[in-house]
Amino acid sequence: SFEEAYQASLAYFGGDELAARVWVNKYALKDSFGNIFEKSPADMHWRIANEVARIENKYKNPISAEEVFELLDHFKYIVPAGSPMTGIGNHHQVASLSNCFVIGLDGDADSYGAILRVDEEQVQLMKRRGGVGHDLSHLRPKGSPVNNSALTSTGLVPFMERYSNSTREVAQDGRRGALMLSVSIKHPDSEAFIDAKMTEGKITGANVSVKIDDEFMRCATEDREYVQQFPIDSATPQVTKDISARKLWEKIVHNAWKSAEPGVLFWDTIIRESIPDCYADLGFRTVSTNPCGEIPLCPYDSCRLLSINLYSYVVNPFTDKAYFNYELFRKHVALAQRIMDDIVDMELEKIDQIMAKIKTDPQSDEVKSTEYHLWEKIKRKSGMGRRTGVGITAEGDMIAAMGLRYGTQEATDFSVEVHKTLALAAYRSSVEMAKERGAFEIYDTKREENNPFINRIKEADPQLYEDMAKYGRRNIACLTIAPTGTTSLMTQTTSGIEPVFMPVYKRRRKVNPNDADVHVDFVDEVGDSFEEYIVYHRKFIEWMRINGIDTEKKYTQEELDELVAKSPYYKATANDVDWLMKVRMQGAIQKWVDHSISVTINLPNNVDEALVNRLYVEAWKSGCKGCTVYRDGSRSGVMIAVEKKK
Ligand code: UDP
């Protein structure tokens, strides 16, 4: 039955083997015995559309299953992320629809009990398919006194190992759980945290990010001393430590250059811009992010993600008559926001099912209590804020289809216009829903008065702000840009706001040299024969077709290079885009995204540390909430590096 579904999906995806395989393995409805109940994505899209319609029918002006299906069909306009795609209407699994969770201290102080509880909660969430983040800044630094037989504490690193190992234990249908560990640069152990992954094979089950404040960045760039302390936010700290900010910064840069981690989170920017933090005293104080960084969260909140396929709004793509259909886009953004709000309701139902299941588990109440309480806390906060993660994918293809070159000022200006349109349409939709369905329960105009994001909305659309003040808003925060790892395989486009990785490259496949119709291009050292074939980025083929270029011909490398040079993807790929411009583009787009943006700056192997330093500093100055770099070949076992070797 795998074969049957695979063949049907292969046809659906136009022969795209990777897309078909990923779809059948990850998203087709199956039971725990491996029986597959969906033959192609169309079945899945009807499953999702029917569920959305079921929720819609509880409210005024419901949208129909047919309307929703049209938006989902062929991943053309609206694409729910992995967790909702698998989980919606799936009665074979008791799992969450959320892609992102953050957990942490819950009123209790640093203690072994709390450390173990977080460990247990992390596993329980991963078991139900969520990505998890938590912050370690509350753990006392190495050498601090503890009131037990250990006498002094071991510091952060052993706990990082614990949480990393727990992550590696939990399998999620053929994938590992994903974990983000963060710490404040103010913490006296942050240097050890930054170095922890530098030892080969250590802490492989977690992404690590440092939360960096503006004061640290000023000290680092001006070469001044910086004071670390513990507790990090206490007016009367027990421990203080004067350090050279520049030295520590150089270490961050060096490690990121060497091994792609730590990522940096510009924490003051995150907090300053965060709307949920206007409700910090009600439990919405942001403490960490989900594994890929696009959703900063408070403890026990969650978020579900969905992407809008930007390529599909370019009319006459790759021609000189190309234009962006803003009207259709606005309409679909509004619907996407609605669908996301419907998915919040579905998630609350799912949590009820999870809790009911826990109750009937053949375990003692003692064993079940942490898990049960965990979901109780998550249900409370998800229901309170009704947070959504409406995002995009295919930014790079959209830019190319418009005839623009990624990384130019012109392209960035266009992107900003698109994201501004998106933000205003999503907020308008959330306000309209507040009218029909009610605002999120703690909405308070006054509290949000000084929030820079809200003020940007107000300035761009005073009427929208006025209506928001009158009716409230349905969702505490609405927008994000996720990496769209598998989503972009389904849409067959570039991912998130990334440029195309490579428009065209050669791959080798092993062949039997005795077969009559094979052409052996290469024989390796053990004598195996290989045939070379060309892999085109899907939208690059589109560009070829539209421009009357033969897509079947076997081109030489030189000819391929010439083709790329003629296309709008020229000097606009991950490896040759102007990186500084890319960072500035991220900062400019960030102004219209209330959560964060997940981006990786891909760099060729031969760049130096000074460049990484410039990119990180520019990211801070441009208003980015975070930044990650990946230098080609800097981490073993990363697929990207393997693919590059033709
Ligand atoms: N995620 C996860 N495990 C994975 C992939 C993703 O937990 O293997 C979570 C994580 O929080 C990440 C988010 O899902 O930040 C979104 O990832 P992505 O956009 O790549 O999702 P996809 O396109 O695969 O649905």
97 lines ligand 1 (CB under 6 A): no
**What is the mean pLDDT of each successive set of 10 residues along the chain, which is 646 residues long?**
94 94 94 92 98 97 98 98 95 94 82 92 92 95 79 88 93 74 97 93 94 98 97 94 98 96 97 98 97 97 98 98 98 98 98 96 90 97 98 98 97 98 98 98 98 98 98 98 96 97 88 85 87 91 96 91 95 91 97 97 94 97 97 65 34
Helices 609-621 + 214-222 axis angle, to 10 = 140
Q: Checking DSSP bridges between strand 301-303 and strand 100-102, what pairing results, if any?
A: antiparallel
SS3 breakdown of the chain: % helix, strand, coil, rounded to 5? Answer: 45, 15, 35
Q: Given the CA of residue 131, which atom of ligand 1 is nearest to it?
A: 7
Q: How many angstroms separate the alpha carbon of residue 429 from the centre of ligand 1? A: 25
| Phi-psi sector, 624: left (phi>0), alpha (psi -120 to 50), beta | beta
Within 8 A by CB and 6+ apart from 591, the residues are 416, 453, 456, 623
Out of 27, 88, 97, 99, give the residue to mutate to test ligand 1, the one with the largest number of ligand atoms within 8 Å of its CB: 99
Q: How far apart are the first and last CA of the chain?
A: 34
175 lines ligand 1 (CB under 6 A): yes
Output the pLDDT for position 172. Answer: 61
Q: Which residues pair with 175 in a beta bridge?
A: 172
Within 8 A by CB and 6+ apart from 373, the residues are none
Q: Which residues pair with 392 in a beta bridge?
A: 308
Q: How many angstroms separate the alpha carbon of residue 485 from the centre of ligand 1? A: 7
Q: How many angstroms separate the alpha carbon of residue 79 from the centre of ligand 1? A: 13
What's phi and psi for 164, nearest 5 deg? -65, -45
Q: How many angstroms separate the alpha carbon of residue 482 from the centre of ligand 1? A: 8
At 314, which amino acid appears?
V
CA distance 480 to 49: 23
Output the pLDDT for position 175. Answer: 62
Within 8 A by CB and 6+ apart from 218, the residues are 224
CA distance 526 to 295: 48
User: For 481-509, b where at least 16 C-beta lie within 10 A, e where not — what string?
Assistant: bbbbebbbbbbbbbbbbbbbbbbbbeebe
487 lines ligand 1 (CB under 6 A): yes
Within 8 A by CB and 6+ apart from 571, the residues are 405, 407, 577
Q: How many angstroms separate the alpha carbon of residue 128 from the centre of ligand 1? A: 14
User: Which residue's CA is minimally distant from atom 2 of ligand 1?
Assistant: 131
CA distance 177 to 168: 7
CB 308 within 8 A of CB 390: yes
100 lines ligand 1 (CB under 6 A): yes
User: Which residue's CA is minimally distant from atom 14 of ligand 1?
Assistant: 99
CA distance 236 to 360: 48
User: Which residue's CA is minimally distant from atom 1 of ligand 1?
Assistant: 131
133 lines ligand 1 (CB under 6 A): no
Within 8 A by CB and 6+ apart from 401, the residues are 311, 314, 317, 318, 322, 539, 542, 568
Q: How many angstroms separate the alpha carbon of residue 99 from the centre of ligand 1? A: 6
What's phi and psi for 518, nearest 5 deg? -95, 155
> pTM here?
0.95
178 lines ligand 1 (CB under 6 A): yes
- Structure-block tokens of residue 142: 């190495």
248 lines ligand 1 (CB under 6 A): no
Output the pLDDT for position 641. Answer: 32
81 lines ligand 1 (CB under 6 A): yes
Out of 100, 292, 599, give the residue to mutate to test ligand 1, the one with the largest number of ligand atoms within 8 Å of its CB: 292
At 534, which amino acid appears?
I
Q: How many CA atoms lie within 13 A of 599 on its CB side?
A: 29
CB 570 within 8 A of CB 537: no
Q: How many angstroms separate the alpha carbon of residue 80 from the centre of ligand 1? A: 11
Helices 579-590 + 609-621 axis angle, to 10 = 20
SS3 state at 391? strand
483 lines ligand 1 (CB under 6 A): yes
290 lines ligand 1 (CB under 6 A): yes
Out of 27, 297, 305, 596, give the residue to mutate to test ligand 1, the one with the largest number of ligand atoms within 8 Å of its CB: 305
CA distance 224 to 424: 41
Q: How many angstroms separate the alpha carbon of residue 559 from the centre of ligand 1? A: 37
User: For 19-34, b where at least 16 C-beta lie within 10 A, e where not — what string?
Assistant: bbbbbbbbbbbbeeee
CB 193 within 8 A of CB 204: no
User: For 121-155, b where at least 16 C-beta lie within 10 A, e where not — what string?
Assistant: bbbbbbbbbbbbbbbbbbbbbeebeeeeeeeebbb
CA distance 546 to 124: 50
Q: How many angstroms separate the alpha carbon of residue 486 from the centre of ligand 1? A: 8
